[in-house]
Structure 1
Amino acid sequence: MIKLEQLTGGHDRNGFDCGVAALDTWLRQTALQHQAKGISRTMVAVPDTQRTAQEWRDAGLQDITADSILGFYALSSALVVIEDLPQKIAHRYPRQIPVTRLGRLAVRLDMQSQGLGRILLADAVMRARQAALRVGSAGIVVDAKNAAAARFYQRYGFASCAGQPRKLFLAMW
């Protein structure tokens, strides 16, 4: 019913509303620029076919088209210092380590609490792992926007970093 693909100019960025203005604005104004400059890559969830989009419109989601963004996430590379990692695993690493940063993850308001966030996160982890097999990355780091988002990541194995409960890390190895 959905497919995940890299963001392009053909996707309806203006129709996306996740309820967090900073995330909506970043998708509309910054995501494609960062992609063009090689800063990050944004993956979007969209209806897999025109027929799926029509079925969702028939079910009451009037503004969904085949180009509608249902959710998205962005990945980039980063370095972290071990003092910023969860204390129980920091001892395994040298002073600085390469990581994959999950910079943004959002689901449109009318699609929230239906499992799409979990699908996006699983895809992000899978892509980060595939990249790490080629270029090296010790794990994934994310800065949760709020306590609820931090709990979401913790349900999937992310651990809070030392003294920063909303900065979370997931070791890949």
Structure 2
Amino acid sequence: MTGSTEASLRVEVLGSQHDRNSFECGVEPLDRYLRMQAGQDARKNIAAPFVLVMPDGAIAGYYTLSSTAVSVGEWPVETVRKLPRYPLIPATLLGRLAVDRRQQGRGYGRYLLADALLRSLRSEIAAFAVIVNAKDGNARRFYQRESFLPFPDQPMKLFRPMADIAELFR
């Protein structure tokens, strides 16, 4: 990403002013979600969709955040030792993250991820970690490069502790 391009990008809450029909990331369920479901999820407070908007107004990418909880038994043993003895541990779910195919390879996925992590960190709602469910091996590798850790029995489900995220932004 060049400095001038990055300075003109903005991440916004998805709204009716955004043209969702031209977005195409190459993964049909992610494209369909943005076009058909994201607005409804926002209105019903199921997920909070955010879009990366280009200077011309086009959507370059998007992600969603929502609350979740993970059973204490799903976490790695070394993580559980540091947690209180609650049956469910609160977390933030990064439910979807996609970049338009015309914008792929420019670092916008990392840009969106950084924005999602910062929003999660700044939230006044308590969460122990940010959770992702990688759709495939490429997505899993992307998140692992960004310091996400896999759950022991679910290699496609990964997490990054909020304490680690806080260090990232210090």
Deviation at 1:126, TM superposition (A): 0.2
Q: TM-score, normalised by structure 1?
A: 0.85
Percent identical among aligned pairs is 41
Counting matched residue pairs gives 154
Deviation at 1:152, TM superposition (A): 0.4
Inter-partner Cα distance in structure 2 for 1:157 and 1:70: 24
Instruction: Give the match for residue 88 of structure 1.
Output: 78
Inter-partner Cα distance in structure 2 for 1:45 and 1:74: 12
Inter-partner Cα distance in structure 2 for 1:40 and 1:123: 16
Q: TM-score, normalised by structure 2?
A: 0.87
Instruction: Give the match for residue 138 of structure 1.
Output: 128
- What is the 5 A alignment of 1:23-62? 23-48=30-55, 53=56
The residue identity in structure 2 corresponding to 1:87 is V
Inter-partner Cα distance in structure 2 for 1:90 and 1:116: 33
Instruction: For residues 153-173 of structure 1, give each alpha carbon's deviation from its aligned partner in whole angstroms, at most 9, with x where no partner exists.
Output: 111110000111110011012
Deviation at 1:41, TM superposition (A): 0.7
Choose the corresponding residue for 1:150, options 140, 145, 150.
140
Instruction: Give the match for residue 26 of structure 2.
Output: 19
Choose the corresponding residue for 1:164, options 147, 150, 154.
154
Deviation at 1:106, TM superposition (A): 0.2
Deviation at 1:86, TM superposition (A): 3.1
What is the root-mean-square deviation of aligned Cα atoms in Å?
1.1
Instruction: Give the match for residue 120 of structure 1.
Output: 112
In structure 2, stretches of 5+ residues that fail to align are: 164-170
